[in-house]
C-alpha cells in the first residue's frame, strides 16, 4: 500500500510532463515571409518554408528586417501560440505588425508550464486584435520605438492567470477589455519606466486586482477602468483620469514613495484607502488632505476621493469590536471573583 501511495504522484508527474512534452512537440514555429503582403494566417505561401505558426509553445515571428512598411496577418481560424515576437535589427522606416482577425477567430496563448510572451522591438508598433484566451500566464514587453496595443478582449481560463506588463521603454495600450473569463485575472505593471505607461483604455472587469510595482498605469477621461478588484501601488505612478476608474467596493493601497495623480473633476468613491498599517476614516478628501493625513507628497491633482466602507467591512469591524468587548467582560468577571 505504501509503495502505491508513493508511486502514484510520480506517475502523475511523469504523465503531466509527457503531456506537455508531446503537446509542445506538435507545435510549429513560423516566420512571416520577406515578400509577404497582407494575408490570412492560414496561407502557407506567406510563411517561410510553409511553416504556419501554431500549437502549444509555438513562436510566431515577424521580423521587420524582412519587409518594408507594415504587414497584417489576419487570424482567419482559431490558433494557439506560446510566443509572439515582433522584432528587427536596425531596420529603417516604420514597420508596423498587425495581427488582424476574421471569422470571429480566437487566439489562445498557451506556453505549457512557462509564461506566454508578447514582445515588440525595433521600429514600429504591434497590434494584437483577435479575442485572446489565456491558458498560461502572460508577459508583455515593448522595447520598440512606439506603442504596443492589445486591441481586443483578453480573458482567463480556469484558476488565476497573471498578465505582467514587464520591462519596457514605450507605452502599452490595453484597448480591449480584460476579463476573468472562466477563472480570474490579475494584472501587474512592472515596466520600470514612467515613459512606458500602461494605458487602461477600456472598461476592464478582471477581479484579481491590479498591482503597480514600477512604471505607470493610466486611465483616461472616458469610460476606462482599472478592473473590478483592489489596486495596490507599490512603486511608480498611478494616474486616475475619471471618477469610475475603480469600483466602489475596492480598496486602494499604496506606499508613500509612490505617486498617485487624481486627474479628474469630482469624487471617486472607494471602500478603503490604506498605506501600511494606516487607513483613513470615512469622508471625502482632496490630494492635500490625504498628504496631510498620511504624510509625504504621494497625492496630486484636482480630484477628490470619497471613502465609504461597504456593509461587509462594517460587519467585520463590528464583529471585532464585539469580540473585544466580550473579552474585556470576561477579564472583569474573573477579577471580581
User: In the sheet that 106-109 helps form, which strands lie side by side, from edge to edge?
Assistant: 79-81, 106-109, 131-134, 154-156, 178-179
Q: What is the pLDDT of residue 7?
A: 45
Confidence check: pLDDT of 94 > 80: yes
235 in a structural domain: yes
User: Residues of the chain with pLDDT > 70: what percent?
Assistant: 83
Question: Residue 169 has which C-alpha cell?
Answer: 521603454
Confidence check: pLDDT of 18 > 50: no
Q: What is the pLDDT of residue 116?
A: 99
Work out the average pLDDT over 153-182: 97
DSSP line for 70-138: -EEEEE-S-EEESEEEEE-SS--S---EEEEE-TT-EEEE--TTSPEEEEEEESS-EEE-SEEEESS-E
Calculate the CA dihedral of residues 152, 60, 212, 201 and round it to 10 degrees: -20
Work out the average pLDDT over 251-261: 99
Work out the average pLDDT over 257-286: 98
Q: Tell me if residue 334 falls in helix, strand or coil.
A: helix
Confidence check: pLDDT of 326 > 80: no
Q: How many domains does the chain have?
A: 1
Confidence check: pLDDT of 103 > 80: yes
6 in a structural domain: no
319 in a structural domain: yes
Q: What is the pLDDT of residue 33?
A: 85
Taking the C-alpha atoms of residue 157 and residue 145, their distance in angstroms, rounded to an integer, is 32
Confidence check: pLDDT of 19 > 50: no
Q: What is the pLDDT of residue 168?
A: 97
Q: What is the pLDDT of residue 92?
A: 76
116 in a structural domain: yes
Q: How confident is the model at residue 324 (pLDDT cuts 50, 70, 90)?
A: very low
Nearest Cα residue to 60 out of 113, 123, 107: 107
129 in a structural domain: yes
Confidence check: pLDDT of 294 > 70: yes
pLDDT digits (tens, 9 = 90+) for 108-146: 999 999 999 999 999 999 999 999 999 999 999 999 999
Q: What is the pLDDT of residue 320?
A: 39
199 in a structural domain: yes
Confidence check: pLDDT of 153 > 70: yes
196 in a structural domain: yes
264 in a structural domain: yes
Domain that holds residue 130: 28-336
Amino acid at each position: 500500500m505504501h509503495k502505491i501511495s508513493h508511486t502514484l504522484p510520480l506517475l502523475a508527474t511523469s504523465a503531466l510532463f509527457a503531456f506537455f512534452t508531446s503537446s509542445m512537440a506538435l507545435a510549429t514555429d513560423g516566420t512571416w515571409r520577406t515578400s509577404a503582403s497582407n494575408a490570412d494566417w492560414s496561407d502557407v505561401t506567406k510563411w517561410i518554408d510553409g511553416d504556419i505558426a501554431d500549437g502549444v509553445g509555438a513562436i510566431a515571428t515577424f521580423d521587420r528586417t524582412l519587409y518594408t512598411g507594415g504587414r497584417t496577418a489576419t487570424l482567419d481560424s482559431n490558433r494557439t501560440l506560446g510566443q509572439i515576437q515582433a522584432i528587427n535589427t536596425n531596420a529603417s522606416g516604420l514597420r508596423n505588425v498587425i495581427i488582424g482577425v476574421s471569422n470571429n477567430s480566437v487566439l489562445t496563448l498557451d506556453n505549457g508550464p512557462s509564461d506566454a510572451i508578447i514582445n515588440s522591438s525595433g521600429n514600429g508598433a504591434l497590434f494584437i486584435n483577435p479575442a485572446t484566451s489565456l491558458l498560461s500566464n502572460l508577459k508583455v514587453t515593448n522595447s520598440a520605438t512606439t506603442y504596443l496595443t492589445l486591441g481586443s478582449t483578453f480573458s482567463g481560463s480556469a484558476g488565476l492567470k497573471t498578465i505582467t506588463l514587464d520591462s519596457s521603454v514605450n507605452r502599452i495600450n490595453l484597448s480591449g477589455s480584460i476579463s476573468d473569463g472562466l477563472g480570474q485575472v490579475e494584472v501587474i505593471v512592472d515596466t520600470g519606466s514612467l515613459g512606458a505607461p500602461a494605458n487602461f483604455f477600456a472598461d476592464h472587469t478582471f477581479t484579481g486586482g491590479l498591482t503597480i510595482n514600477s512604471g505607470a498605469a493610466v486611465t483616461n477621461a472616458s469610460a476606462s477602468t482599472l478592473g473590478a478588484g483592489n489596486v495596490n501601488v507599490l512603486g511608480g505612478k498611478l494616474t486616475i483620469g475619471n471618477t469610475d476608474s475603480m469600483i466602489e467596493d475596492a480598496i486602494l493601497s499604496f506606499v508613500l514613495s509612490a505617486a498617485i495623480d487624481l486627474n479628474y473633476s469630482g469624487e471617486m468613491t472607494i471602500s478603503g484607502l490604506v498605506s501600511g498599517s494606516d487607513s483613513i476614516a470615512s469622508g471625502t478628501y482632496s490630494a492635500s488632505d490625504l498628504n496631510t493625513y498620511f504624510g509625504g507628497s504621494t497625492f496630486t491633482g484636482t480630484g477628490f476621493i470619497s471613502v465609504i466602507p461597504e456593509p461587509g467591512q462594517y460587519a467585520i469591524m463590528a464583529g471585532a469590536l464585539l469580540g473585544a468587548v466580550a473579552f474585556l467582560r470576561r477579564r472583569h468577571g474573573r477579577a471580581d471573583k
